[in-house]
Amino acid sequence: MRAFQVTSFDTPAALIDAPATPPAEGEVLLGIQACGLNFADLLMANGTYQDTPTPPFTLGMEVCGTVLALGAGVTTPALGARVAVFGGQGGLADQGVFPAALCREVPDTMTSEIAAGFQVAYGTSHLALTRRAKLQAGETLLVMGAAGGVGLTAVEIGKAMGATVIGVARGAAKMAVAKAAGADHVIDASEDITAAVRALGGADVVYDPVGGPSFKAALRATNREGRIVIIGFASGDIPQIPANHLLVKNITVIGFYWGGYLKFNPTALTDSMGELLDWYAQGRLKPHVSHVVPLDKAADALELLRSRKSPGKVVVAP
């Protein structure tokens, strides 16, 4: 089979011919139809992600595929079922083995490309806004990086929860994407973000996958008793938080790592995904896949993320 693998952190990941692996006990073998890319794949490729495996390993955290074989003790999903699964690695390949318990059958109305890119982005925003930030209807949600893979989902989910959503994105094209996803107001990232948000009444909840100067601007625009959820640091700059500002304005800064729940509370993830699939079936969510790229162009697909040229989700389809 073909697999896009990291063999060393000193050399770029590359497409190689690799031996197919049969499923072990509790696993299924999938014929991979689509793999969603995430910023974490970039970090994993250079060894800086918090859950980076030891090389060699195949990149690709979330997939959709058809069950080709069952490991010992597996009764569901059934052979031939089309499922989505977050495996953490192994998705950028023709085939892969994944834990059967983490697989969820995909509705017929959902394409494999959408299903592959649905889990991390929507799961991250849903759990961050419901469980961690406890966003309430009528509050104002500020989404940084609002045209990115997770930012767009935060816009959609915030609107579905009854919030007024302010999206920050760079350039007219990305601002239009955020607006189309449901943002009530959009701000260009090159503007004075603090002043623009304050002019709209400030933010009660901030969703920040960007970090750096954007975090500092958002903090200054956060209302008293506001909550800031740290999703990641796409800017490459991890901000230092002035604790005195938190104290004076009674602001809470919340860390959130979606993948970490696999280790200490996987039920939170499966419950969240069940609700999201219901919302999708009801037409409340409109996932935006901006690029579908073949496996032999996986390096180009990752570059779309690195250069921030993807307004929406990037999916690789073997």
Q: How far is CA 254 from CA 56, 129, 159, 191, 219, in A?
A: 34, 11, 21, 26, 12
Asked whether residue 6 carries a pLDDT value surpassing 90, the answer given is: yes
Residue in this structure with the two tokens 């690695």, named with its chain if needed: 89
Say which range, 55-69, 83-97, 178-192, 268-282, has the weakest mean pLDDT.
Answer: 268-282
Which fold is adopted by the domain 121-259?
A: Rossmann fold (3.40.50)
Length of the chain: 318
Span(s) in the chain for CATH 3.90.180.10: 2-118+287-317
Helix axes 149-160, 119-127, angle to 10 degrees: 50
Residue ranges, CATH 3.40.50.720, the chain: 121-259
Distance (Å) of CA 35 to CA 32, 213, 247: 7, 32, 43
- pLDDT, residue 103, reads 92
Q: Which of 196, 185, 169 has the alpha carbon at shortest distance from 288?
A: 169
Contact 179, 167 (CB under 8 A): yes
pLDDT tens digits along 86-140: 999 999 999 999 999 889 899 899 999 999 999 999 999 999 999 999 999 999 9
Q: What HEC string does the chain produce?
A: CEEEEECCCCCCCEEEECCCCCCCCCEEEEEEEEEECCHHHHHHHCCCCCCCCCCCEECCCEEEEEEEEECCCCCCCCCCCEEEEECCCCCCECEEEEEHHHCEECCCCCCHHHHHCCHHHHHHHHHHHHHHCCCCCCCEEEECCCCCHHHHHHHHHHHHCCCEEEEEECCHHHHHHHHHCCCCEEEECCCCHHHHHHHCCCEEEEEECCCHHHHHHHHHCEEEEEEEEECCCCCCCCCCCCHHHHHHHCCEEEECCHHHHHHHCHHHHHHHHHHHHHHHHCCCCCCCEEEEEEHHHHHHHHHHHHCCCCCCEEEEEC
| Confidence at residue 35, expressed as pLDDT on a 0 to 100 scale | 98
CATH topology of domain 2-118+287-317: Quinone Oxidoreductase; Chain A, domain 1 (3.90.180)
Q: Please write the tens of the pLDDT for every residue from 234-273.
A: 888 999 999 999 999 999 999 999 988 988 898 898 889 8
pTM score? 0.84
Contact of 37 with 60, CB cutoff 8 Å: yes
Q: Could you give the CA distance from residue 268 to residue 140 in angstroms, rounded to a whole number?
A: 25
